[in-house]
C-alpha cells in the first residue's frame, strides 16, 4: 500500500528497517538480546537507537511515531520500554511542568524509560474504582495502595501513577497523576510471571512520600488528563500490533511457500491460499486505519478522537491475534515449536486485545459514539 509519506519519512522508515535487519535480523541475535524471549527490553540496543536520534520521534507527530513502532515491531527489536515511555511522555508533554517535561520527554529521547501505573486488583476497565490513595501533607503527598499489571516498571526510571486524592471509589473525580521515581522509599516492585515473559509488575506503595511538585497537571483532574491521551495510547498499541501482524504474515507466507505436502507447496492449496488472501486484506485495512487516524491526530493534536482511536486499537489488535493464530495453524506443529518465531507472535498478539482497554471496552466506546 502506498502511503502519502514525505521522502524524509520514507527514508526514516527504511533506516529503521535496515537497523533491525542488522541488529535483530537473526533468531540467534534476538535470543541473545532477550534471554531466549524472556525479556522484552534490552537497554543496550535501546541506547543505540537513542544515540541515532530516533527516539526523538517521541517529540514528533503520530505518523512518524507509528512508522517507528511498526518497523521496530516488524523487526522484533526488543525495545518494549519505548511504548510505555511514549505514553507517559505524551501525558507529561500535555500537562507536566517544564522540569517534568525535560525529565520525561527529553529523557525518553535520550534513552531513559518510564512506566504507567493505573490498574489495581479491583480496578481494571473500571478506572473510577481506583482506591490507591495520595494524601496531602506538609511534606508533599503520602502514597498508599497497590497497582498491578504495570508494564516495564521493573526497569523504568520513574512511574506515572494515577492515584486518588479526593472523592470515593466509583467516581472519576478526585484522581491525580504523580511522577514517582522507581527507587522511591516506600515503593516495592514485584514482577508477575506471564506467558509473554517478564513484562508486568505489582507495585506496592507503603507510606511512600513524594514532593508536591511530583503532581503532573492539576490535582483532581487525572481523569480528564487520561482521556486527553487516548489518541496517543491507542495509536501506539495499534502501531506495534500492525508491525507484529505483518511479521507473522510474512513468516507464514514464507513457510507455506516452502513446505510441501502431497507433492506441492501447501500454499498452493485453495484453503490456505484463500486464508492468506483474507489475512493480507485485513492487514492492509489495518494499515490504512492506523495512518489515517495518525494523520487526524497530527492535524489537531488537541482533538480527542474516541471513535477513531478505539476503532484502530480494536481492529489492529484483533487482526494481529487472528493472524498469529492462523499462522500457527498453517504451520502445524512447527508453529507451536519454540524453534520458530510464530509461537512468540501468538503470545505477543493474544495480550494486545486486553491491555490498553480490552476489545470489549473498545466496542462499547465505539457504540456510545453512535448514541447507543
Q: Which residues are catalytic?
A: 233
Contact in structure between 271 and 39 (CB atoms under 8 Å): no
Spatial CB neighbours of 64, under 8 Å, sequence gap ≥ 6 = 9, 12, 57
Contact in structure between 139 and 213 (CB atoms under 8 Å): no
d(CA 149, CA 115): 11
Measured CA distances, 118 to 10, 121, 235, 283, 339 (Å): 36, 10, 18, 31, 36
Residues in the chain: 372
**Which three cell numbers mark 206?**
507503603
Contact in structure between 78 and 33 (CB atoms under 8 Å): yes
Helix, strand, coil percent content, the chain, rounded in steps of 5: 55, 15, 25
Contact in structure between 242 and 178 (CB atoms under 8 Å): no
Partners of 208 in the β-ladder: 143
Positive or negative, the Cα torsion across 328, 331, 336, 339? negative
Return the closest-CA partner of residue 314 out of 247, 235, 216, 253: 235
Contact in structure between 189 and 147 (CB atoms under 8 Å): no
Amino acid at each position: 500500500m502506498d502511503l502519502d509519506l514525505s521522502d524524509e519519512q520514507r527514508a526514516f522508515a527504511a533506516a529503521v528497517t535496515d537497523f533491525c535487519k542488522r541488529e535483530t535480523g537473526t533468531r540467534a541475535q534476538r535470543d541473545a538480546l532477550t534471554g531466549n524471549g524472556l525479556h522484552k527490553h534490552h537497554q543496550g540496543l535501546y541506547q543505540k537507537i537513542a544515540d541515532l536520534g530516533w527516539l526523538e520521534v517521541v517529540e514528533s507527530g503520530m505518523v512518524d511515531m507509528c512508522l517507528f513502532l511498526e518497523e521496530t515491531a516488524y523487526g522484533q527489536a526488543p525495545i518494549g520500554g519505548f511504548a510505555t515511555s511514549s505514553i507517559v511522555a505524551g501525558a507529561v508533554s500535555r500537562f507536566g511542568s517544564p522540569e517534568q517535561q525535560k525529565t520525561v520527554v527529553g529523557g525518553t529521547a535520550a534513552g531513559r524509560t518510564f512506566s504507567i501505573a493505573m490498574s489495581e486488583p479491583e480496578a481494571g476497565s473500571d478506572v473510577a474504582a481506583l482506591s490507591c490513595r495520595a494524601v496531602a501533607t506538609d511534606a508533599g503527598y503520602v502514597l498508599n495502595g497497590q497497582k498491578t499489571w504495570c508494564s516495564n516498571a521493573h526497569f523504568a526510571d520513574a512511574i506515572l501513577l494515577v492515584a486518588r486524592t479526593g472523592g470515593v471509589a466509583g467516581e472519576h473525580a478526585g484522581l491525580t497523576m504523580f511522577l514517582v521515581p522507581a527507587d522511591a522509599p516506600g515503593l516495592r516492585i514485584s514482577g508477575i510471571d506471564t506467558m509473554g515473559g517478564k513484562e508486568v509488575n505489582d507495585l506496592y506503595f507503603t507510606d511512600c512520600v513524594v514532593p508536591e511538585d511530583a503532581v503532573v497537571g492539576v490535582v483532581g483532574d487525572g481523569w480528564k488528563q487520561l482521556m486527553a491521551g487516548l489518541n496517543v495510547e491507542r495509536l501506539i498499541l495499534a502501531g506495534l500490533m500492525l508491525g507484529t501482524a505483518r511479521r507473522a504474515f510474512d513468516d507464514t507466507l514464507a513457510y507455506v511457500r516452502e513446505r510441501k505436502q502431497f507433492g506441492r507447496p501447501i500454499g498452493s492449496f485453495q484453503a490456505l491460499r484463500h486464508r492468506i488472501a483474507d489475512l493480507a486484506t485485513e492487514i492492509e485495512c489495518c494499515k490504512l486505519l492506523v495512518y489515517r487516524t495518525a494523520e487526524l491526530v497530527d492535524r489537531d493534536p488537541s482533538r480527542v478522537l474516541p471513535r477513531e482511536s478505539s476503532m484502530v486499537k480494536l481492529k489492529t489488535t484483533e487482526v494481529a491475534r487472528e493472524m498469529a493464530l492462523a499462522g500457527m495453524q498453517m504451520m502445524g506443529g512447527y508453529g507451536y515449536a519454540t524453534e520458530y518465531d510464530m509461537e512468540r507472535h501468538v503470545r505477543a498478539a493474544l495480550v494486545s486485545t486486553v491491555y490498553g482497554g480490552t476489545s470489549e471496552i473498545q466496542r462499547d466506546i465505539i457504540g456510545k459514539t453512535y448514541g447507543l
